[in-house]
Structure 1
Amino acid sequence: MIRLPSLGDEVSVQMDATPAEVWDLVSDVTRIGEFSPETFEAKWTRGATGPEVGAYFKGHVKRNGVGPTYWSGCKVTACEPERLFEFSVGSDSVTVNNWGYRLEPKDGGTLVTEYFRLDPNLPTRLYWLVLGPLRRRTNKLGMQTTLERMKAVLES
């Protein structure tokens, strides 16, 4: 029996900032281009103007920072100010993966955890079986870079 690697992962970074300050940054998708090594811009779509469950946005992605670019459709799936911001990536009918940020007050600052979780459908499982180890490493490095860049902005 072939055992698939876990369909997700996460990275945490302690930041010397309040949960409100971190929330303002992680929930403003229009700023992701300042921090992410892969998603260099994003914009609210379908009439959305800010974070709320059901709001849509698109992210402009350059996978691994190289190659062609493409737009990914996203939908906010969890939105708890100063605590949780999560969104799905895919189409209206198919979710490919989910990304999110958990915020926890800790030691006078905020522990920020960025995570991803792939949808467990068959095509995603097959993709993950073949490319999972490489994508997991790339995603973890990307999450670490994103959080460290956010930390630098928040602590400057």
Structure 2
Amino acid sequence: MTSETVFDISVGTRVPAAPDTVFAYVSDLTRSGEWSPECLGGEWTEGTPAALGSVFTARNHRAADVVSWAPVVRGEWATQCEVVASEAPRVFSWAMRDSSGRAQESVWSFLIEAAAGGSVLTHAFRMSDLTEGMREILAKLSGDEKQQFLSDWSGKLEGDMRRSIARIKAVLESTS
């Protein structure tokens, strides 16, 4: 079976902190509530925090007005994420797990590069092959609605990622 990329989004910014400092902050998913518009935080539930294969159980919240016409989860819910790359101080990635506990091709990443005066931090999201949740959402939509949803959701994701990276930068600026 061949993969089709559904989402491939990245946003970046310069931050006034060394790569190891940036990595330590973004790989501590318990602090994700400080930066994410949707994730409220959570806890490490399997393995060593931030290590390859470790599992983080996230608490999330989505408001009613987020792509309000679409049949997406609203209010609070939990997800499990598995660390799929942890290469300090360069890459930290986690994949959303499905209902049976398998990592899906829905991967969030932070990429960190040394730069003059600090680092360049890139926040990326890639989904190839639809996740369980996306299949359920799209099954409820007509052909035109599916295309509209993918476009609207892509815009929502990019906006959330821009807010996240701006918040991360603000925290790192205040501590540098």
Q: What's the TM-score once normalised by structure 1's chain length? A: 0.86
1:140 aligns with 2:139: no
Instruction: Specify the alignment match of 1:60 in structure 2.
Output: 59
Rounded to whole Å, the distance in 2 between the matches of 1:61 and 1:130 is 24
Structure 1 unmatched ranges of 5 or more:
none
What amino acid is the match of 1:11? V
| Change over 3 Å in CA distance of 1:98–1:13 after alignment to 2 | same
Instruction: Specify the alignment match of 2:141 in structure 1.
Output: none
Rounded to whole Å, the distance in 2 between the matches of 1:122 and 1:12 is 25
Count matched residues: 152
Write the mapping of 1:49-88 to structure 2, written as runs, cut at 5 A. Answer: 49-63=48-62, 67-88=74-95
| Change over 3 Å in CA distance of 1:94–1:84 after alignment to 2 | closer
Instruction: Specify the alignment match of 2:109 in structure 1.
Output: 100
1:152 aligns with 2:155: no
Q: What root-mean-square deviation, in Å, do the aligned CA atoms of Structure 1 and Structure 2 show?
A: 2.3
How far off its partner does 1:49 sit?
Answer: 3.8
Rounded to whole Å, the distance in 1 between the matches of 2:128 and 2:63 is 21
What amino acid is the match of 1:74? C
The structure having more radius of gyration, on CA atoms, is 2
Rounded to whole Å, the distance in 1 between the matches of 2:42 and 2:14 is 25
| Change over 3 Å in CA distance of 1:76–1:16 after alignment to 2 | same
Q: Deviations over 1:100-152 (max 9, x none)?
A: 10001112211100011113148647846452111111111111111111111
How far off its partner does 1:62 sit?
Answer: 1.3
Instruction: Specify the alignment match of 2:69 in structure 1.
Output: none
2:128 to 111, 119, 125: 119
Does the CA contact (< 8 Å) of 1:38 and 1:65 recur in 2? no
Structure 2 unmatched ranges of 5 or more:
66-73, 139-145
Once the two structures are aligned, what percentage of the paired residues are identical? 28
Q: Deviations over 1:78-121 (max 9, x none)?
A: 00011000000022236151101000111221110001111314
Rounded to whole Å, the distance in 2 between the matches of 1:30 and 1:121 is 27
Q: What's the TM-score once normalised by structure 2's chain length? A: 0.77
